[in-house]
Amino acid sequence: MGYYEELPSIDINEHLEDMEKLGNVVLVDVRTPEEYREGHVPGAINIEAKRCGRSGRSYVESILPDKTARIYMYCYSGARSGMTAAFLRQMGYDRAENIGGYEGYTGPVATGQV
């Protein structure tokens, strides 16, 4: 069994439906800028996962200043967003949550610049 097969099944579409009901949720795509430009969930901002390491703390805080905000994060499969959400929680973003992978997304797609 491979690493990706061991990830829990998370349905990005269900979380996005919940997001509409909750309101005031920051949607973050942690894929590369190239992946983001090729297609992303409308309304998502792009913060590449590798920029969220220890050296990127001030970068993350400049984009996400409110540590009390609910933050929904996704990547392609859910692996990078899971690691990034865990790191953000260590930084004090207690409501950072992995909502799964773009590969399972069935809604409208936005394209273009970061």
Question: Looking at the annotation, which residues are catalytic?
Answer: 75
Which tokens is 104 given?
A: 């399972």
- The total of other beta-carbon atoms located within 10 Å of residue 85's CB is 25
CA distances to 5, 10, 20, 21, 22 from 14, rounded to whole Å, are: 20, 9, 10, 11, 12
Lay out the sheet containing 96-101: strands in order across. 45-46, 25-29, 70-75, 96-101
